[in-house]
Structure 1
Amino acid sequence: MDFQLSPAELAFRDEVRAFLDERLPDHLRAGATATPTVFAEPDLGREWQRILHEQGWLGYHWPVEHGGTGWSPVQRYIFEKECALASAPGLPVLGLKLLAPVLWTFGTPEQKAHYLPRILTAEDYWCQGFSEPGAGSDLASLKTSARREGDRYIVNGSKIWTTHAHFADHLFCLVRTDAAVKPQAGISFLLIDMNQPGITVRPIIGLAGDHEVNEVFLDEVEVPVSDLVGREGDGWTIAKFLLENERGGSCFAPELLAVLSRLRQDAAQEPDGYGDALIQDASFAQDLARLELSAQALEMTELRILAEVAQGRKPGPQTSLIKLVASSLRQDVDALAMRTYGHAGLQLSTRRPLYGNDSDEPIGSKAAQIAAPAYLNSRAWTIFGGSNEVQMNIIAKTVLGL
């Protein structure tokens, strides 16, 4: 395939760059580069969301009929890459990129009309209720139950590792509606309003002091039957569809390449301890180059998948391959960042956020202050969205035929 951008795509790239130069505020750039977690804090993500919504670019991967841009897969990739290079904050991915495709694919007309506009305007902030204390990678064993009583479901159970549940006002949730059938067949997909009695959110503090994930407890929580997505028992099919989007709905290489570019720039200024810049150290330069080549190879693979999507093919099991490679590469990049900043990279401020007037003063540079929190936070990359072991099983079965 041809990886050269066409004149029209180059013009689009220039349009995106001009927009970012004009509309992406410095405080959002600074906040994004000082965020060590996977998800941007809501004050950053939602402000950027509003700016993109005003431009008409927020639903850049949505169908036009639901408020999307109609961009091609290559245009979406260009946009994500330029945003990464410009240090734009991450967007609230759980609603925009995970739930929204579920709604326009499986939802009722009423669900689409009600929820999709509210996701775009940031009126609703969503979290994901999949994993449970005894059902992480093995979602089929989930225990959270939903019994139907007339025109409502009554939900009882708990979810864990629920990202941004302490900010969210809505939860999309897998529940067991039938315990008498085989595990996968008894699961359903509900939309739950979190602003009601019976819902308790308890924080889980990460290794770096981040409050990003939570436990969520549901005790006799009421959900209208109209907030069942699909039919009862469709939850497993919908979950597989959603996880395919989670693992392959965005491209990982642009962000990795942007981080590596900043590391290369900083290594030209950081001392190696022997009178030269760190970038002159052969071992460091070799490791940096190896990661850059790996990220470029990942980029080529992602572009190949985009080319297939543009031809109408589904991403399929290749998304597991992307997730597997990107997760390990992310951890390797963060480990190299620790090495880049030396002793200053060992500082661990547990005060959050690490941007703004009330943040702790860094020892050395702001990049050095972020190194250790980012390294610790990225330990979760090989777990969330399906652990590396799960991805390897999927690849073995569906790609290699083992």
Structure 2
Amino acid sequence: AGLACKAVRDGDEWVITGQKVWNTLAHIADRGMLVARTDPNAPKHKGMTYFALDMHAPGVEVRPLRQITGEAEFNEVYLTEVRVPDADRIGDVGEGWRVAMTTLSNERTTIGGGGGGVPARGSGAIAEAVRIWNEEAGPATKTAVHRDELVQLWVRSEVLRLTNVRASQNRKAGNPGPEGSIAKLEFAKVNMDIYEFCVDLLGVAGLAGYDFEMRRADNLGLTGPPGSSRKM
């Protein structure tokens, strides 16, 4: 609720000034989601309003942020007296927090995989680990300890899949629940553990012949938005 954007109404428009950070793909987006404080005197989670922002409007400046993977998927967005039509307001004035929480619930469900069953990255990760175990791992690493670890990773992936199914059903019913947050949290953790397992199984070949470290870094980034894993 510590917003860095304020919006002042001017007739049928809102004049918005401030800054947003960690905006995913804002540099290629035509529209953005924006929550701005419209009543500075209201309590912390009140006085906020939700807008659909034209990313090409005058006064909108987007600055990409380089991340641990070397890519720049996230951005800082600076708003300088940007005029937003009241028609682009989503929900009632002062109800931005409620709308934002609904948005986040749906976003977490999508990241966790509830948008379409099992996410490709999630199912692909455990499937690749099983393939490596069957086809590439040497006798020295195919120990009982590693076998048990692989089984545990498969169980976690299957639990994640079933959680995704429940989250998807709730989302389609218009009632995204905590399952989406749980799936998002576990999705990043289980994939990082799978990639670490693959590197451990293959040794140096796992670092030289695969992009496991890049994929692990990519999933590490998912422990942040939307909603840090430490807070969920």
Same fold (TM over 0.5): yes
Deviation at 1:294, TM superposition (A): 1.0
Higher relative contact order by CA 8 Å / sep ≥ 6: 1 or 2? 2
Q: Which residue of 2 aligns with 1:372?
A: 213
Deviation at 1:317, TM superposition (A): 2.6
Deviation at 1:313, TM superposition (A): 8.1
Q: Which residue of 2 aligns with 1:299?
A: 161
Q: Which residue of 2 aligns with 1:221?
A: 82
Q: Equivalents in 2 of 1:208, 1:321: separation in Å? A: 25
Deviation at 1:344, TM superposition (A): 4.0
* Change over 3 Å in CA distance of 1:306–1:245 after alignment to 2: closer
- Taking only the aligned residue pairs, the percentage that are identical comes to 30
Determine if the alignment matches structure 1 residue 156 to structure 2 residue 17: yes
2:133 corresponds, among 258, 264, 267, to 267
Q: Equivalents in 1 of 2:30, 2:174: separation in Å? A: 35
Q: Note the 1:1-400 alignment, pairs <5 A.
A: 140-249=1-110, 250-251=113-114, 253-255=118-120, 256-272=122-138, 276=139, 278=141, 280-305=142-167, 314-346=175-207, 363-364=208-209, 368=210, 370-391=211-232
Q: Deviations over 1:287-325 (max 9, x none)?
A: 221100111122233334556678x58342333333333
* Change over 3 Å in CA distance of 1:218–1:341 after alignment to 2: farther
Deviation at 1:200, TM superposition (A): 1.5
More strand by proportion, 1 or 2? 2
Deviation at 1:211, TM superposition (A): 1.3
Q: Deviations over 1:236-294 (max 9, x none)?
A: 1101111111122442744323321122213333343xxx385x333322222110011
* Change over 3 Å in CA distance of 1:337–1:253 after alignment to 2: farther
Q: Equivalents in 1 of 2:13, 2:39: separation in Å? A: 15
* Change over 3 Å in CA distance of 1:206–1:309 after alignment to 2: closer
Amino acid at match of 2:225: F
Deviation at 1:182, TM superposition (A): 0.8
Deviation at 1:373, TM superposition (A): 1.0
Contact 1:331 1:381 in 2 (8 A): no
Q: Equivalents in 2 of 1:163, 1:307: separation in Å? A: 26
Q: Which residue of 2 aligns with 1:396?
A: none
Local SS of the residue matching 2:68: coil
Contact 2:137 2:201 in 1 (8 A): no
Local SS of the residue matching 1:161: strand
Q: Deviations over 1:211-234 (max 9, x none)?
A: 111111111111111111122112
Q: Equivalents in 2 of 1:176, 1:307: separation in Å? A: 33
Q: Which runs of 5+ in 2 are unaligned?
A: none
CA RMSD of aligned residues (A): 2.4
Amino acid at match of 1:285: R
Contact 2:102 2:176 in 1 (8 A): no
* Change over 3 Å in CA distance of 1:211–1:277 after alignment to 2: farther
* Change over 3 Å in CA distance of 1:314–1:151 after alignment to 2: closer
Q: Equivalents in 2 of 1:225, 1:339: separation in Å? A: 55
* Change over 3 Å in CA distance of 1:188–1:374 after alignment to 2: same
Q: Equivalents in 2 of 1:313, 1:168: separation in Å? A: 25
Amino acid at match of 2:151: A
Q: Deviations over 1:158-200 (max 9, x none)?
A: 1111111111122111111111111211111111111133222
TM-score scaled by length of structure 1: 0.52
Q: Equivalents in 2 of 1:211, 1:308: separation in Å? A: 32
Amino acid at match of 2:145: S
Q: Which runs of 5+ in 1 are unaligned?
A: 1-139, 347-362, 392-402
Q: Equivalents in 1 of 2:169, 2:53: separation in Å? A: 36
Local SS of the residue matching 1:184: coil
Q: Equivalents in 1 of 2:166, 2:8: separation in Å? A: 44
